[in-house]
Structure 1
Amino acid sequence: MKTISSVVEHYIKTKPFLLSALSQGIINLTSLARNMMPELEQELGKDVKQGAVVMSLKRLSEDLDFRVNHKIVKVLKGIGEITVRSSLTDYTFAVSDTILNKQAELITSVNANPEVFYTSSRGVNETNIVVSASMSPVVDRLFADEKQIERNDNLASITVKLPKENVSTPGVYYYIFQRLAWEGIIIIEVISTSFEFTILVSEQEVDLAFKVIKDLKSL
């Protein structure tokens, strides 16, 4: 049986930005309830009192404050080293029978230049390679016969070390990427391991992206 509380919670959870704003207590609950009324009444098939919706929102916001803020903020306060690199190029190639051999050759070249940045990830149909721009001629030569899907130049990376609690706390990545989205930052690539992740952004946006992530430590 549908209740006002369950319908209100479902409504809020289907709107991620509204969910976060509610958890931070920055929304006028009466105004929000008034805007929600038509949809809630249609869902429940009966008239709903605005006061009941406000009470449901209040209980939900208090619960979210604990589930979102206390648990996630504890993890974010434990963010470790943040490393920034600039002058990067991001390649995407179609997966092929020969691409691993080309990557092996590239890794040999990278090992001979310890100062350069290199990372790679492989999906079902695509292989992604991110290198320092100085290595672009090598990539262009080695992968000349591969199908190049995308290339982005003039990028910067931000690598963030996360505490071990990150793998057992839901919503950590969502919270970080939401903050970046609020600032209008376009994320070109995301590369992650268990306790660290790297995002690629344009060099024009790297300073703002760095500030957003750094400020998470002082929430």
Structure 2
Amino acid sequence: MKTIASCVEDILIKQPFLEEALFRKIINFSALSEELQTPVSAMLGKHVKTSAIMMALRRYAPPVHLRQSHKLKAVMKQLGDITVRSNLVDYTFSNSESLIKSHAKLIETLDSKSFYGFSRGIYESNIVVSASEKQAVVKAFQSEKMIDSQDDLSAISIGLPKDNSRISGLYYQIFKRFAWEGISLYEVISTTNEFTVLVESHLVDQAFSAIKNLNAD
């Protein structure tokens, strides 16, 4: 059964920036209650008083990553070196029975100094390589179905602190920064202790600054 509290929670979950502003107490409860009155009333199918919404806002329990913000900030200070690689190409292929063999052919010819990343999903796989390896990819995957390709990309890699997989909210902070800066991510590559994002090259300086400022907040 829908309640005022559950409706407020549904709205806040879908608007993480609003949720964080509420937790940090930099938003006016009364003004927000008036703003939420119409959508909450619509969700419940009846008129709801702003005072009831305000009470729900004050009782709202924020996510763990917000409650542990001080701990998370300390972790962000431990982020490692940032590395930038430019002039990259991203390919997307449909998964097939022969894809692994095609992939093996590519690996045999790759220059050890070239950038290379591979990820496999249920229906498609992605390969990110230095532009100098274009012909090698075309040759190795000539019998595969290419869904898409994008060149003029740059990769920004950042070292993650030890046990980062147990740190709630770490990736949220990274993605939030990009969203706040209006930076679109073309691709994300993650290993145990390293996080890489691909962006269009004209956004690389802005994206680099966004990551660099993560541990400065």
Name the counterpart of 1:135. 133
Equivalent residues of 1:24, 1:65 under 8 A apart: no
After TM superposition, the score normalised by the length of structure 1 is 0.86
**Conserved in 1, the CA contact under 8 Å of 2:87 and 2:152?**
yes
Decide whether aligned partners of structure 1 residues 20 and 147 sit closer, same or farther in structure 2, where only a CA change above 3 A counts. same
Aligned residues: 217
Contact 2:65 2:169 in 1 (8 A): no
**1:44-55 map, 5 Å:** 48-55=48-55
1:108-145 CA distance string (max 9 Å, x none):
222xx222111111111111111001111111122122
| Superposed counterparts of 1:68-87, under 5 Å | 69-87=69-87
Tell me the SS of whatever aligns to 1:86. Answer: strand
* Partner in structure 1 of residue 171 of structure 2: 173
Deviation at 1:3, TM superposition (A): 5.7
Aligned-partner SS, 2:37: helix
Contact 1:79 1:163 in 2 (8 A): yes
Using the TM superposition, give the Cα deviation of residue 85 of structure 1 relative to its aligned residue in structure 2, in angstroms: 0.5
Q: Is the 8 A contact 2:157 2:194 kept in 1?
A: yes
Q: Residue 102 of structure 1 aligns with which residue?
A: 102
Change (3 A) 1:21 1:68: farther
2:27 aligns with: 27
Say if 1:176 and 1:213, in contact at 8 Å, map to a contact too: yes
Is 1:199 matched with 2:181? no
Aligned partner (choices 144, 150, 153) of residue 151 of structure 2: 153
In the superposition, the TM-score normalised over structure 2's length comes to 0.86
How much has 1:55 moved relative to structure 2? Answer: 4.6
Q: Secondary structure at the match of 1:37?
A: helix
Alignment partners' CA distance in 2, 1:214 and 1:59: 35
| Contact 2:116/2:130, CA 8 A, preserved across alignment | yes
SS of 1:204's partner is: helix
CA RMSD, 1 decimal? 2.5
Q: Structure 1: which amino acid aligns with 2:169? A: G
SS of 2:202 mapped into structure 1: coil
Letter in 2 for 1:167: S
SS, match of residue 178 in structure 1: helix
Q: Secondary structure at the match of 2:135?
A: helix
Q: In the aligned structure 1, how far is the partner of 2:137 from the partner of 2:43?
A: 56
Cα displacement string for residues 34-67 of structure 1 (whole angstroms, at most 9, x for unaligned residues): 1112333455676655345335434548887852
Distance 1:210 1:61, change over 3 A: farther
Aligned-pair CA distance for 1:78: 1.7
Q: Please list every run of 5 or more consecutive structure 2 residues that lacks an aligned counterpart in the other structure.
A: none
d(CA) in 1 for partners of 2:163 and 2:48? 41
Unaligned runs of 5+ in 1: none
Tell me the distance in 1 between the aligned counterparts of 2:65 and 2:140: 52
What fraction of aligned residue pairs are identical, expressed as a percent? 45
Q: State the match for 2:120 in structure 1.
A: 122
